Amino acid sequence: MIIEILTIFPDFFKSPLQAGVIKRAIDAGIIDFRTIDLRDFTHDRHRTTDDRPFGGGEGMVMIPGPIFDAVDTIRAAGPAPCIIMLSPGGRLLDQELARSLSEKERLVFICGRYEGVDHRVVQGCADMELSIGDYVLSGGETAALVAVEVITRFIPGVLGCDTSAENDSFSTGLLEHPQYTRPREFRGMSVPEVLLNGNHAEIERWRRRQSLKITAERRPDLLKRAALTEDDRNYLKKLGLWSES
């Protein structure tokens, strides 16, 4: 997958991409990652990317010219990109959306800064607006990093095991069960007995039930959308954590 990030802060992406899963995927050639400096598409001495808002008000707004010029250059070479404008007003990123974006051949992220971006960028340039949560960041860069990490986890070969992202919290529709490793006893806390007995069916059942309980307690909204079996529902009823409504 080709990933291009349009930003006035290309250096922002240097160190996060030099670690962990994303670095390995870049090194393995699974992801071709590039940052594009928006200021390279300005035409004045000060390399201006923003201006005062029409109609007045505080703050500055990013001008459309450099963004459109950069996107024209991007479109002119290589496969057709999906152009994503990061914005708190965009579609909320979740596992399902990340999985579908992971199937694209080429993604371009436009990072806004200042108080906003001229609306014509959304009208005439971007294929979609994307938000990573109901809060406001100082710019799209942090959001782009989050999106790149979430999306690329679904690309085959990026994680050690191709199916891992499918088993993550949310991908199953439920939060993940607790995990333990050695030592068996730690500061008075012990590993649940069931995980030590080697009975895999029993372990799977315990894990499923832990997931159900944790999700019901913390995120009942997720439980409503999850695919549950009769056995799941009976277990939740027994705990008093299931309502038919």
d(C-alpha 238, C-alpha 242), whole Å: 8
Please name the residue ranges forming H helices in the chain: 20-27, 64-76, 95-101, 119-124, 140-152, 164-167, 200-218, 220-225, 230-239
- Let me know if 120 is a catalytic residue: no
> Which CB, 66 or 90, lies closer to ligand ADE?
90
**What residues numbered 141-170 form the site for ligand ADE, per CB under 6 A?**
143
Answer yes or no whether residue 133 interacts with ligand ADE by CB under 6 A: yes
* The binder of ligand ADE chosen from 38, 71, 98, 132 (CB under 6 A): 132
* Binding-residue total with ligand ADE (CB under 6 A): 11
Whether 79 sits among the annotated catalytic residues: the reply is no
* Residue 184 neighbours by CB under 8 Å, 6+ apart: 190, 191, 196
Pick the binder of ligand ADE from 21, 137, 191, 195 (CB under 6 A).
137
Site for ligand ADE in 75-114 (CB under 6 A): 86-88
Of 89 and 220, nearer to ligand ADE (C-beta) is: 89
Catalytic annotation on 88?
Answer: yes
Collect all residues with Cβ–Cβ distance below 8 Å to 126 and sequence separation of at least 6. Answer: 83, 84, 85, 110
Binding-site string for ligand ADE from residue 33 to residue 72, where x marks contact by CB under 6 A and - marks none? ----------------------------------------
Pairing relationship of beta strands 189-190 and 185-186 according to DSSP bridges? antiparallel
Are 93 and 150 spatial neighbours (Cβ–Cβ below 8 Å)? yes
For ligand ADE, the closer of residues 17 and 93 by Cβ is: 93
Q: 38, 45 in Cβ contact below 8 A?
A: no
| Distance from the Cα of residue 97 to its chain's centroid | 9
Closest CA to 170 of 134, 135, 214, 204: 214
Among the residue ranges 28-36, 125-133, 214-222, 230-238, the one whose residues contact ligand ADE (CB under 6 A): 125-133
Catalytic (active-site) positions: 88, 115, 153, 168
Task: Tell me which residues touch ligand ADE (CB under 6 A).
Answer: 86-88, 131-133, 135-137, 140, 143
